[in-house]
Amino acid sequence: MTGILSVQGDFLEHEAALARLGEESFEIRSKEDAERDFDRLVLPGGESTVQRKLVGELGIYDALQRKIEAGIPVLATCAGLILLADYFRTLPVKVKRNAYGRQSASFHVDSEFSGVGSIPMTFIRAPCIELAENGVEVKSRVDGRITGVQFGKQIGIAFHPELDSDTKLLSYWLSIK
């Protein structure tokens, strides 16, 4: 059962993408939701400043932080990546918000994700990873910039697999137990 942080952003697309792969999910919108029993977590894209404000105000932070530190598989996309690195601080990478200039704020490429193969990657006002600390596996780069990493069971990516029909990356994440 996957819990999806659903205070803002594209959580519905994650729900739909997981449902296509037969994975049940529920929306985390309150402290009670965050304290439920679940074994995987998705942090979706959206607006990281809004998300972290709401997570704090709704009292969701501690329960999620505990779950992540306990080692459940996490998939953090775009704004979720920023939260995982800068707010929950469980992913030791340095993230740069809005790393692509206004001209190329949103774009789409097919590129290699290590262990998964070539996949479509949709970037929307995306961050990039400027620095990955020891122990962090770099899984993808686009134009020399790091766009995907894995650290234990946490996957942090700058793009949005839930918006593409290709399911390889989500299947890979679901295979992490």
What tokens does 55 get? 């997570």
Do residues 51 and 58 touch, judged by C-beta distance below 8 A?
no
Measured on CA atoms in the order 146, 149, 151, 154, is the torsion positive or negative? positive
Site membership for ligand GLN, residue 46 (CB under 6 A): yes
Among candidate residues 14, 15, 78, 128, the one labeled active-site is 78
Q: Which residue stretches of 27-175 are H helix?
A: 31-34, 48-57, 61-70, 79-82, 168-175
Nearer to ligand GLN, 35 or 111 (CB): 111
Site membership for ligand GLN, residue 104 (CB under 6 A): no
> Which of 142, 126, 102 shows the shortest CA–CA distance to 48?
126
What tokens does 116 get? 């998964």
Do residues 98 and 49 touch, judged by C-beta distance below 8 A?
no
Inter-CA distances, 162 with 27, 29, 101, 157, Å = 16, 20, 23, 12
Site membership for ligand GLN, residue 125 (CB under 6 A): yes
Site membership for ligand GLN, residue 171 (CB under 6 A): no
Site membership for ligand GLN, residue 47 (CB under 6 A): yes
Using the rule CB under 6 A, give the single segment among 28-36, 45-53, 60-68, 129-137 that binds ligand GLN.
Answer: 45-53
Using the rule CB under 6 A, give the single segment among 54-62, 65-73, 76-84, 142-150 that binds ligand GLN.
Answer: 76-84
The answer to whether residue 128 is catalytic is no
Query: Least CB distance from residue 45 to ligand GLN, whole Å?
Result: 3
The answer to whether residue 78 is catalytic is yes
Residues in contact with ligand GLN by the rule CB under 6 A? 45-48, 78-79, 82, 97-98, 124-125
Query: Active-site residues: which are they?
Result: 78, 160, 162
